[in-house]
A and B are shown apart, each in its own frame.
Chain A
Amino acid sequence: MPHRVEISVFVAMFVAVAGLGFLAARWRRPASFNDLDSWGLGSRSFGPYVSWFLLGGDLYTAYTFVALPALMYGVGAAGFYAVPFAIVGYPLGFVALTRLWSVAHVHGLVTPADFVRARFGSRGLALLVAVTGIVATMPYIALQLIGVEAVLTTLGVPGKWPLAIAFAVLAIFTYHSGLRAPALIAFVKDILLGYVVLAVLLTVGMTWNAWGGVFHSAELKFHTRGPLLPASGQLGYVSLALGSALAIFLYPHAITGVLAARNRETVRRTIATLPIYTAMLGLVALLGFTAIAWGVKPVGGDHNTVLPALLHGFLPEWLAGFAYAAIGVGALVPASVMSIATANLFARNIYREYLRPAASPAAELRVSKLASLAVKLGAAGFVLLLNPQFSVDLQLIGSVVILQTLPAVGLGLYTSWFHRRALVAGLLCGLATGVALLYQTPQLAPTGRVVRAHFGGSSWSLAHLGIHNGQSIYIGLIALAVNLVVTVGLTPVLRATGVPDGLDITWKHDYEADEGDPSVRRLSELVDGGPMNPVVYEQAVPRHGQPVPPSTVDYRIRR
């Protein structure tokens, strides 16, 4: 059997990590493990190190590490957009997410839709944001499976059953341990990944004309001077980078990772240091060029196997096994967080809001855990039963779709000026525009021949407007512009016609509250309808538009 060593290492690592996922339930276990906070947000207790690894594993998914080298291999310099994208997102997140953390902490919010509900007082808008989040995240989970599949194909493992087993393991430990599992596993994944990336880079650096040769062969392949963007590609590059940067922290799984942090300083420190991963990502992307230089041929013409095939030809077997394990484990972390995030959206914003408003925290947790299983079953179904291309298409749509929640979730952190109905209308118009333009976009072969007529990419050619300079623009941004115009345009109209605004239960100070702030209300209080402790009840801080009284509350009682 070929690849024996690689497969052994891969399987051994996978089993070890799955075991770790189960043990994670005992890690820093709180006294009560029966509400959504403790399962779905790790009791909001993660410090800077855990948060860093968790968010790193969550945002830089296995699929990214597989797909980016494949993209560089296929299209050249344009594939590097992920680097500016994953830089620009952070300064924005640094300010916005700290505010989101605070307001979520004060009000016991778990999902982005929870925030929208509190800020704009609209169940309908919250439902729309929740559904958008679920729709955008589901195919993303499926993509993680495709990342693992690329490794298995390279290893020559036949059939779909190993993939099904991997996902079953993931589903069970997520159900059992909640967010603690991916947090703990993320450590292992990063140690593996860091080691492998370092080993590969050093290997390339020490061989065959080092990087100069690598870039030269890319030059030859793409017929450009120094593998650069064609002048006509700059607008597409920058709009894709900007659009993706605005979207990244709107994803429910990113928000889940942030809300699990212990305090504001943890969020700030984590985000300030996360770009280290971007550097690693950029270097891994360049391995796509290395594959060109080394004449690596993707297995069965599937570009996603470029990186695994390169590692196989390049590294000693045991190290390649570690690399594959890093990709496999790297798929488990984000898939787990994503399923938790979508499950929370369902439990919080659909089940408790619409199906059973009186649900207790324990019931809410039960529903969320079951939903996390359902979500993964759905994702597995996507990959195992349908054409994988379908997941890729849906993910393309997903990133355009999630960007449309920016006015409600992102801008909502700064202003409640928008009218709730205007936000609903803007969101719907943005979604419609985005999907329509994606439908209009064909996939072209380098020769200009149409490969597929619809959903062929996320760049909308300016030729549609009669500007024939070869430039294109990211569809998500166009849809967002439509969304914003509708939202901003309708808000004054709705106010003028006397359509009532929703009630904003958040409050200026909430956006700057930190750990231990007197205005913090625990989830259980909110759900049960009042604090347990009568002392606290009497001293409870009045909110809703009144100034903060000097803090006299002994908030520790509530912990």
Chain B
Amino acid sequence: MSRKRWYWLLVIPAVVPLLVPLYDRVDPTVYGFPFYYWGQLAFVALAMLTMTVVRVLTRRR
């Protein structure tokens, strides 16, 4: 049962990419990419990381 609480971590990648005012800006730019673009691409890594952590922590046995 206690293992199930790790699933709440998934709220992060499900909500953060929807907070538009957070990333609708130019600075800081990286390698010519405004934050708006590289920030959203970085959420991909955030999502994969979170899901992998949750997957490992909630694995049976």
Contact = CB atoms under 8 A, between A and B. Distances in A.
Q: Do A and B come from one complex?
A: yes
A278 B43 CA distance: 10
A271 B55 CA distance: 10
A227 B60 CA distance: 46
Contact of A228 (B11, B36, B47, B51): B36
A90 B55 contact: no
Nearest to B25: A228
Interface string A217-240: 000000001111100001001100
B41 A282 contact: yes
A320 to B, nearest CB: 25
Given A228-B24, A242-B18, A276 B33 contact: no
B54 to A, nearest CB: 7
Interface size class of A (residues with CB under 8 A): 35 or more
A213 interface: yes
Given A229-B24, A238-B20, A268-B55, A210 B40 contact: no
B37 to A, nearest CB: 7
Interface in B9-61: 10-11, 13-15, 17-18, 20-21, 24-26, 29, 31-34, 36-37, 40-41, 43-48, 50-52, 54-55, 59-60
A225 to B, nearest CB: 7
B47 A90 contact: yes
A192 B43 CA distance: 25
A241 interface: yes
Interface size class of B (residues with CB under 8 A): 35 or more
A12 interface: no
Interface stretch (A81-89, A307-315, A346-354, A460-468): A81-89
A95 B10 contact: yes
A71 B7 CA distance: 35
For B31, B41, B45, B59, the residue with the greatest tally of chain A CB atoms inside 10 Å of its CB is: B41
Interface in A74-110: 77, 80, 83-84, 87-88, 90-92, 94-95
A84 B34 contact: no
B40 A90 contact: no
A87 B18 CA distance: 10
Contact of A92 (B14, B29, B46): B14
B20 to A, nearest CB: 4
A215 B55 contact: no
A214 interface: yes
B37 A84 contact: no
A448 to B, nearest CB: 23
Contacts of A213: 32
Given A229-B20, A234-B21, A282 B32 contact: no
A241 B36 contact: no
Contacts of A210: 31-32
A268 to B, nearest CB: 5
A211 B26 CA distance: 14
A361 interface: no
Interface in A48-94: 77, 80, 83-84, 87-88, 90-92, 94
A529 interface: no
Contacts of A3: none
Contact of B14 (A91, A275, A278): A91
A151 to B, nearest CB: 26
Nearest to B19: A238
A276 B26 contact: no
Contacts of A234: 20-21, 24
Nearest to A225: B26
Contacts of B25: 226, 228
A92 B50 CA distance: 12
Contacts of A229: 20, 24, 36
Nearest to B17: A84
A525 interface: no
Contacts of A212: 29, 32
Contacts of A94: 10, 51, 54-55
B29 to A, nearest CB: 8
Given A88-B13, A91-B13, A228-B25, A211 B33 contact: yes
A271 B45 CA distance: 13
For A94, A234, A282, the residue with the greatest tally of chain B CB atoms inside 10 Å of its CB is: A94
A88 B54 CA distance: 15
A80 to B, nearest CB: 6
B28 to A, nearest CB: 11
A237 B18 CA distance: 9
A218 B6 CA distance: 42
A212 B33 CA distance: 7
A286 interface: yes
B12 to A, nearest CB: 8
A276 B44 CA distance: 7
B46 to A, nearest CB: 8
Interface in A365-408: none
B40 A272 contact: no
Nearest 3 A/B pairs, CB to CB:
A211-B32, A226-B26, A212-B32
7 contacts: A83-B40, A84-B17, A226-B26, A229-B24, A272-B48, A278-B47, A282-B41
Interface of B: 7, 10-11, 13-15, 17-18, 20-21, 24-26, 29, 31-34, 36-37, 40-41, 43-48, 50-52, 54-55, 59-60
